[in-house]
Amino acid sequence: MQKEFTIEDLERVDPFALNPLVKDRSTYFVLKRLLDLSLTISALVILLPVLILIAILIRLDSPGPVFFVQERVGARRRARGGYACWQKVTFPFVKFRTMAHNADPSLHQEYIKAFIHNDALAMAEVQGEDTQVRKLLHDPRVTRIGRLLRKSSLDELPQLWNVLWGDMSLVGPRPAILYEVQEYKPWHLQRLESLPGLTGLWQVTARSSADFDEMVSLDIQYIEKQSLWLDLIILLKTPFVVLNSKGAA
């Protein structure tokens, strides 16, 4: 039986886990947090009826809880002596449940491993077909309402609570699953040097059409160039990408 990958394992294999990274940018991160709080609180108030409706539909569609909670890898920024570093942490990541309750994760694990290693044959075998969409399609674990939620990205809305709690930001690399990180090459770990986000540069440029290395490169590019202006551009582009539904599953 394979040992479950933990945050302690991550810090052992990640040479950047506690190393100083960049000059302290406290002003930007304070403004980013204020932007997150103001937009998230407003969104939760406006979307409350939608959230309640989705919760009712999920309960009517299949037995099980409304929310799916999973441990994900995040980071906490630590400033010391004019420099900043990112300490790896895990946090409870929240989504609307789109799969049957207690569904076996092995299918997704198999696909993610093939995706990270860019093994097209293995991805096609898991999918049952060869497709340019780099995302697990036709997942038999997904419920009827779950398919609609995933297609519209409405299943991601509960992550606004993660943003409110400070585990995530509105903009940043998507939070990684522990079994996903276990397959990373050393340079892939650089995408974890940031607060994870609800949307990001990858989502508004390539989404599910990019291979894993391209996705990581876009995440690293965002981390290196992040600014309040870039965050605003990504936030403004996100609704159009979601409405387009290209690459959604």
Rounded Cα gap, residues 242 and 238, in angstroms: 6
At 87 the pLDDT is 84
Comparing CA positions, the residue from 155, 194, 233 lying closest to residue 25 is 194
User: In degrees to the nearest 10, what's the CA dihedral of 207, 196, 89, 78?
Assistant: 140
Number of separate domains in the chain: 1
Rounded Cα gap, residues 176 and 195, in angstroms: 11
- Does some domain include residue 43? yes
At 242 the pLDDT is 84
Q: Tell me which residue range forms the domain holding 55.
A: 7-103+141-242
Rounded Cα gap, residues 249 and 246, in angstroms: 9
- Does some domain include residue 121? no
b/e code 18-27 from CB counts within 10 Å (16+ = b): eebeeebeee
Close Cβ partners of 111 (under 8 Å, ≥ 6 residues apart):
123, 126, 127, 136
- Does some domain include residue 109? no
Residue type, 114: A
Percentage helix, strand, coil, to 5, in the chain? 55, 15, 30
CB 170 within 8 A of CB 230: no
- Does some domain include residue 70? yes
* Angle in degrees, CA 212, 90, 191, rounded to 5: 30
Q: pLDDT 10s digit of each residue in the chain, 249 long?
A: 344 556 566 555 554 444 444 556 788 999 999 999 999 999 999 999 999 999 999 999 999 999 999 999 998 887 766 677 788 889 999 999 999 988 888 888 888 888 898 888 887 787 766 665 567 767 788 999 999 999 899 999 999 999 999 999 999 999 999 999 989 998 999 999 899 999 999 989 876 667 889 999 999 999 999 999 999 999 999 998 888 765 455
At 96 the pLDDT is 97
Residue type, 85: C
Q: At what angle do helices 144-152 and 26-61 cross, to 10 degrees?
A: 150
Rounded Cα gap, residues 173 and 223, in angstroms: 8
User: Quick one: CA dihedral 88, 92, 98, 99, positive or negative?
Assistant: positive
HSE-CB of 103 using CA atoms within 13 angstroms: 21
At 11 the pLDDT is 56
- Does some domain include residue 195? yes
- Does some domain include residue 16? yes
At 1 the pLDDT is 37
Structure tokens at 17: 């886990």
Rg (CA), the chain: 18
CB 96 within 8 A of CB 155: yes
At 103 the pLDDT is 84
Rounded Cα gap, residues 187 and 220, in angstroms: 10
